[in-house]
Amino acid sequence: MQTAPVISGRDGADRITVESGTYLAKYRDGEGVVQEVSTGCRTKDGAQSILKELSDRAEKVRSKILTPGEASTADHQRTALGDHFTAYLDYQTAKGLNKTRIANNRSRLNRLATDCGFRHLSDLSATVLERWLADRHSEDMSAGNRNEFRQTLVGFGNWCVRSDRISSNPFSAVAKADAKSDQRRKRRAMTEAELAKLLDAARRRPLVDAMTVRRGKNKGEVLASLRPETEQRLRLLGQEQALLYKTYLLTGLRNSELASLTAGQLELDAPAAFAVLDAADKKNRQGSTIAIRGDLADELRQWLDGKLTALQADCRRRGDVM
């Protein structure tokens, strides 16, 4: 059990005082505001050296030798790079970027910092990044993947400049790799026959998986028997999966965009059916209207009618009012 003295803070609230492992520096910055920061030093002499540096910088700001922005840039140099990464990712979260994109940025930044030996902002180096990219090229990392790592650091560097953490982005001049000459997969449109096979496989998959024998002499054969209600449930699941694939194919929506749609955003009874996508759910943060082909609109209407009928029947069984 530990004890600590309680004092009254500047706002009148109670505060617990604990002894820090390092000295704090208290000084008045170039704009006249009292600051109290950790020196990171365990010795008094080291702390006094840091305090003198801070005081000298504040005096230069007051004397117009340095701007407040330049002084702020100097202050950020001692902060661990991981703390800057956290602030950058928090900024992206507040901006409303996709969670997957933020997670990918976090993973790339952490890998680059580890591989390149970046621990503070002063360590950031275009030469080191270029050498790392060259090493990845020799390991056969695709040009597109290498460009993603480069762009992550460029974006971080631009944010550091805007937030007065560094004066210029050291990565802005790092050249992109030629992704067009290094395509690993040649993209092409699916043929009509391939689309038909895809939708048929999606429709049959749940039932076939459930009826496939997993062990014994008949392993791999579609022989298992199911209860009628189970078979009906799996058939409906297959129909929904096929409808989902067809909607992807005929609208071009991304996974997150399609997942955001509700029945209220579908205008299936209009002369030309369409869906309204909210701005917040679009990658470019601009709303749009998506045309829906007639046959797809008919299938979506039937699916929604079936869902409503099943929900009404379930409510009647439970005695709920709907």
Q: Select from 71, 100, 127 the last residue of a domain.
A: 71
Residue 175 in domain: yes
Residue 226 — left, alpha, or beta (φ > 0 → left; ψ -120 to 50 → alpha)?
beta
Residue 124 in domain: yes
Tell whether 123 and 198 lie within a shared domain: no
Q: How many domains in the chain?
A: 4
CATH for 87? 1.10.150.130
Tell whether 228 and 174 lie within a shared domain: no
Tell whether 263 and 247 lie within a shared domain: no
Tell whether 85 and 176 lie within a shared domain: yes
pLDDT at residue 222, as a whole number: 76
Residue 40 in domain: yes
pLDDT in tens, 50-80: 677 667 666 665 666 555 655 555 666 778 8
Residue 95 — left, alpha, or beta (φ > 0 → left; ψ -120 to 50 → alpha)?
alpha
Residue 272 in domain: yes
Strand partners, 295: none
Residue 1 in domain: no
Residue 27 sits at the vertex; the CA angle it makes with 23 and 33, to the nearest 5 degrees, is 135
Residue 76 in domain: no
Sequence-distant contacts of 131-136: CB under 8 A, at least 24 apart:
133/174, 133/177
pLDDT at residue 320, as a whole number: 65
Half-sphere exposure for 115 (CA within 13 Å, toward CB): 16
pLDDT in tens, 224-262: 788 888 888 899 899 999 999 998 888 888 888 888 888
pLDDT at residue 2, as a whole number: 59
DSSP-based three-state secondary structure for 212 = strand
Which stretches of the chain score pLDDT less than 50? none
Residue 135 in domain: yes
pTM for the model:
0.53
| Residue type, position 274, single letter | F
Tell whether 265 and 313 lie within a shared domain: yes
Q: Select from 235, 251, 267 the last residue of a domain.
A: 251
- The DSSP annotation for 83-104 comes to HHHHHHHHHHHHHT--HHHHHH
Structural domain range at position 23: 6-71
CA dist 224 and 208 (Å) reads 9
pLDDT at residue 125, as a whole number: 94
Q: Select from 53, 71, 89 the last residue of a domain.
A: 71
Residue 303 in domain: yes
Tell whether 150 and 175 lie within a shared domain: yes
